[in-house]
Copies of this chain bind each other. A is one copy, B any other.
Amino acid sequence: MRRYHHGHLRHAAIEAGMQLIEASNSADISLREIARAIGVSAPSIYRHFPDKACLLAALAVEGMDQLATAQLIASAKAGHGREGFAASGRAYVRFALAHPLLFRMIIAYLPSVDYFASAKSDTPSPVRFLREIVEALAPVGTSATEVRTAALAAWSQVHGLAMLMLEGQIPRDDALIDAMIDGKDMWPESEIHQQDYA
C-alpha cells in the first residue's frame, strides 16, 4: 500500500492524466488507465474525485490554464494590440494541433464560461483574455454587444479552423494558419486604444 500524503495522489493523477492525454490523440482517457499509470488501484481514485467526470474536468481546467498562457505569451511577444490579437489566435490553433485531445476536453468538459460573466471573474481563461483584448481594440463608442459579436466571431474563426484541421478536413498548413489569421480584418480603419492584459 503506497501512501500519498495530503493530496499527492490527486496531483499524481492529474499529472499522469495529462501525459496520457498527450499520448492519445483521439479517444477519451479512462479512469482505470490513469490509475494504472500511477501504479494504484482504480478505486483509490475515488478517494480524491467523486467520479470520472470530475477527474476529467480537473484535467480540462489544467488544459485551459495552459491554453490561456500560450495565448498570453504569444500576444505579449507580438506587442499586444492588433498584432498581438492575431498572434493569440494563431496560438489557439497551434495549441489545438499540438494537443488534440486536451483541446477537445477543454471545450467539452469545461462548464461554459459566459462571455459577459468573464468580466467579473479574476481567473485567467481564454474567454476572459478574448474579451479583454477585443474590448481594448474596439473603437471608442462601440456598443457592448457589437464588441461581443466581434469577439465571438473571432473565437469561432480560430476554433473552426482548429477543428477542421484536427478532423483532417483542412490541411495542417502552417502558412495557411498565418494567412487566415492576420490582424487586418477587425475594425480596419479604427483608432485603437490599446491596453495590456494583466
Residue numbers of A with Cβ under 8 A of B are 107-108, 112-113, 115, 127, 149, 152-153, 155-164, 167-170, 176, 179-180
What B residues does A162 contact at CB under 8 A?
160
> In the complex, which of the residues B155, B164, B180 contacts A159, with contact meaning CB atoms closer than 8 Å?
B164
Q: Which residue of B lies closest to A165 (CB)?
A: B156
Q: How far is the CA of A167 from the CA of B112 in the complex (A)?
A: 8
Q: How many copies does the complex hold?
A: 2
What B residues does A167 contact at CB under 8 A?
107-108, 112
Q: Which residue of B lies closest to A167 (CB)?
A: B107
Q: Say whether B179 contacts A156, CB under 8 Å.
A: no
Closest chain B CB from A76 CB (angstroms): 24
Q: How far is the CA of A152 from the CA of B108 in the complex (A)?
A: 24
In the A-B complex, the 3 residue pairs with the closest CB atoms: A160-B160, A156-B160, A159-B160
Closest chain B CB from A104 CB (angstroms): 9
Contacts A149-B180, A153-B157 given; 20 further ones with Cβ under 8 A?
Answer: A107-B164, A107-B169, A112-B167, A112-B169, A112-B170, A152-B161, A152-B164, A152-B180, A153-B161, A153-B180, A155-B164, A156-B156, A156-B157, A156-B161, A156-B170, A158-B160, A159-B160, A159-B164, A160-B160, A160-B163
